[in-house]
Amino acid sequence: MKAAIITIQDINNYGNRLQNYATQYVLEKKGYKVISLMNSNQSGNVYIKGKVKYLSGLYHSTFFAKYIKHDMRLYNFILFDKKNIKFSKEFYNKSKQYKNLNKKYNYFFVGSDQVWNSSFHHAKRLDLLEDIDYDKSISLSASVGVSKLNDKDIKSFEKALPNIKYISVREDKAKELLQPFTKSKIEVLIDPTMMLTANEWEKLEIRPNFFTYKNYVVVYCLGNMSVERTAFINRIAKENNYEIIDLMNSSDIAYTSGPSEFLYLIHHAKLVCTDSFHACVFSILFDTQFYVFEREDKLESMNSRIETLLNKFALNEHRKKDYIEYSINHDYTNAYKILENERKKFNLFLDNCFGDEK
């Protein structure tokens, strides 16, 4: 039996690549042959032939300016994809190709990540499974990522959702927004990355070549960094004798980190400061203290993902709204009990999708 994954393929986003791997891993454990459909020119396989040889030479260069750090980051993302993600040989980016897919796969999983956020649409008909047979169509922890839908989104979901047999989303808000468009019960499930244990993720870790730190804070903020926020992080580091690793600062050698290096850095950090959903997820899985900030940018608020995560696992104390007090201590005992039940719920959803087929 063959299953196809339809998701965003962004070779500059840790969470995106790791959720793709997690979905593949979970489905393979169920006994299925799994392929991620190539549907974006950002996929690592598109770059692999022309870039790896060039970037491999740069890796040992003494000239390590900012643009080389960017290329090395790209190189590490590409290598992660090449090593860990099974992609289709064919590139799917035209509507006329989609109908032929029904003959090739038994199931189609769209998700997770923000596949239904219209700001990120790259192959919309494919994202919404519009050309896929009803009995083969499944959304797995799909994310809308926004707190309201525009008129265009509403029309798209009104048309597409009734033709998806099994629907699960990642946020409570997504269920609220989408349930009116389908008679099927929409389930709210954890992100696939949370289906893997810390030990399973640890097998993918790579200790960065540049790593010389003992005690450090990981900063991973995709939005803007205010002066107040930066000062708060600097104060924590100074008072606890921590070094700072900023994964979004192109002047920091850590900027070269790929997904496997990201896992290592989160795992061994004393503290993670972030506005990223997946940085929160991996902090929880690796039992690492974290603070999550609201994202500071002009985009539509995407905080519903983090709200659902913190509410579900009773970790709202990790949301940082002021820059005064902090703690370096934490206790995820209760969160891990909740996680065990959420994993059972996730598996039950998949078993229901597959029925008696093996």
Contact 47, 225 (CB under 8 A): no
Query: For residue range 143-173, what is the model confidence (pLDDT) as tens digits?
Result: 998 889 999 999 999 999 999 999 999 999 9
What's residue 125's pLDDT?
A: 86
Contact 278, 14 (CB under 8 A): yes
Place of tokens 């289906």: 195
Query: For residue range 306-333, what is the model confidence (pLDDT) as tens digits?
Result: 999 999 999 999 999 889 899 999 999 9
Query: For residue range 194-205, what is the model confidence (pLDDT) as tens digits?
Result: 999 999 999 999
Both ends of the chain: CA-CA distance in Å? Answer: 7
Query: For residue range 256-301, what is the model confidence (pLDDT) as tens digits?
Result: 999 999 999 999 999 999 999 999 999 999 999 999 998 876 555 5
Query: For residue range 63-88, what is the model confidence (pLDDT) as tens digits?
Result: 445 668 888 999 999 999 999 999 99
**Residue 34, Cβ neighbours under 10 Å: how many?**
22
pLDDT band at 123 (very low <50, low <70, confident <90, very high): low
And the tokens for 250? 């192109």
Q: Where are the domains of the chain?
A: 2-195+340-354, 200-331
What integer best gives the mean pLDDT of the chain? 90
Stronger pLDDT, 223 or 193, i.e. the higher one = 193
**Residue 121, Cβ neighbours under 10 Å: how many?**
17
Q: Name the helix (H) or strand (E) containing 122.
A: none
Query: For residue range 206-243, what is the model confidence (pLDDT) as tens digits?
Result: 999 999 989 999 999 999 999 999 999 999 999 999 99
149 by Cβ neighbours in 10 Å (0-12 / 13-18 / 19+) ranks as middle
pLDDT band at 177 (very low <50, low <70, confident <90, very high): very high
Q: Is the pLDDT of residue 62 over 80?
A: no
What's residue 189's pLDDT?
A: 98
Assess whether the region 2-195+340-354 and the region 200-331 belong to the same CATH fold: yes
pTM, 2 dp = 0.91
Q: What is the CATH number of domain 2-195+340-354?
A: 3.40.50
Q: What percentage of the chain has pLDDT greater than the value 70?
A: 88
Contact 129, 109 (CB under 8 A): no
d(CA 293, CA 263): 20
Q: Is the pLDDT of residue 58 over 70?
A: no
What's residue 267's pLDDT?
A: 98
For domain 200-331, the CATH class is alpha beta
What's residue 122's pLDDT?
A: 57
